[in-house]
Structure 1
Amino acid sequence: MVTVQKSYVDQGSRTSGILYLVATPIGNLEDMTFRAIRTLKEVDVIAAEDTRQTRKLVTHFEIPTKLVSYHEHNKQSSGVELIRLLLEGRSIAIVSDAGLPAISDPGADLVAEAVAQGIAVVPIPGANAALSALIMSGLPTERFLFAGFPPRDNKTRLAWLEKLRKQEGTLMLYESPHRLRKTLQAMLEVLGNRRIAIIRELTKRYEEAVRGTIEECMIRIEEHQPLGEYCLIIEGAESYTELREQYIEEAGDWWAELTLDAHVAHYEAANLDRKEAIKKVAVERGLPKRDVYNAVNR
């Protein structure tokens, strides 16, 4: 069934309240919009992922609105109460710890239930880490896919990356500092040695963007301890393939006429073990290591 929401036209005739999705700063408080501040002051309740974090924000902007907790661990019970308040005509703003709510957080569940109940959902735009990282990455922005956080388990992570390998648009991921090295290693193995921008601490004093191939950036990460939350912007399959083919055509790599088997055999003859030879071939050809492994071990 098709439903139509006119956010501002029929407010006077609406019996239920409005659920506002309010963006908050991802680091720099100056990124808080006038509209966001006004909305948080006008609603009946602010539902926060972490009330301690949000209290700092509302205190800074002198927002007196009541705070309630809504997060992954209480979303079922808290969500029911928030929907009840909305159906009674109350207005509620939902915020995450930073950036746009309902992206990789439980706010999405509340939005889905509100839509199902015919409650108006209104976005209050603002800062977003993934899109901010994308536009400063230097990688193509015509098409992109936000994939959230990679799985923690290595086997699951490899399978997850395999599903993304043929995505033509630029990939956008979030990652924590203590899992960054393992994720980069898995990406090199599955996606190949693509161009990447590793961006951290967006809008904060130590904002930093490291750009290069995955292998080059891994060397940088080994030399500098990962700190802060990271956005990873990775070259898509289409751009990667086009640039690689252009490079081979222009540079005329010495191995261009060799089969994969012969290429691996060349390095084995130079006293590299088979695993290292396969890895070197994968890097030189810009192929996922597992593709080379599968091809030469049929």
Structure 2
Amino acid sequence: MNIEDLLRETLSDMAHEEQPPPPGRFLHVNGSRSRRRGLALAAAAAVTVLAVGSTFAVQGLSSRTAAPGVLTGQGSGETRAETRNTVTVNEGLRLSNVLKNLSAATGKPLKDFERAAKDGAALGLPAYAKGRLEGFAYPATYEVSPTSSPEEILAAMVTRFRSVAEDADLVEGAKRVGRTPLEIMITASIVQAESGDKRDMPKVARVIYNRLNRTPEMGLRMDSTVLYGLNKFGLAASPEDLQSRSPYNTYLRLGLPPGPIGNPGADAIKAALNPAAGRWLWFVTTDPKKGVTKFADSESEYLKLVEEYNKNRRAG
């Protein structure tokens, strides 16, 4: 059942109620309802969300203007029913930056978005997210109504994630690769951060799984996780960074980090669920300008790729 079906079913039920439901109904899951219906109320019914191609329109329930995407007129004497802000959330963006972008685009205080992001139950996060929004603020383009609250906007992003997760069969797919849904999302966030081209994503996912399967012989050892734990940005962690005691330092700590390091898109999620077949343990972006990434299954081959990278860097 997709988002539109969930909303249609919810609105149909509401149409037969004698009194309008109290506001609190939209923020709490009623235990007597089915799990799917409860999730629809917690996340989708908090806002009006209409698919417009790859764009999602978000409108607060209190708004009395025209439906999202509908104009009242086209002539010089006619005006739009409502002015909207279009916000594009890029794939892989960290939650801290997502919230800053939403605040800048809507003019609503950053602290309000930060406060809303902490209430996972109200946003309709799946149980496996463990109450943390990082990784589940789905990257897409959103048209946001001025009447939308930070809670409604973030709930719409979670709703979009749930739709993508259902399409990808995330929960059952995680079982097939021997991982939990949260581990899939953590892996997908690393794949997103480490891949320069979506065509490389299944191979990057395989490298991650191959390294995890060789624990404690090798460990994950990803610079992207180290930098996330230190709230730094860049392509490579410094020697000092690699000594960090952060739980995201996968050079010193075995296994996956405790949570996603960004908000991955559909391609990264699919790659985590369907890694390529191969024995690779390393990958190097040998030509950053052209976005060329090569993979190696032996240390000697890896060192040759590093030499190729250094050669291209000097030539550039």
Q: When the two structures are superposed, what TM-score results if normalisation uses the length of structure 1?
A: 0.28
Greater Rg over alpha carbons, structure? 1
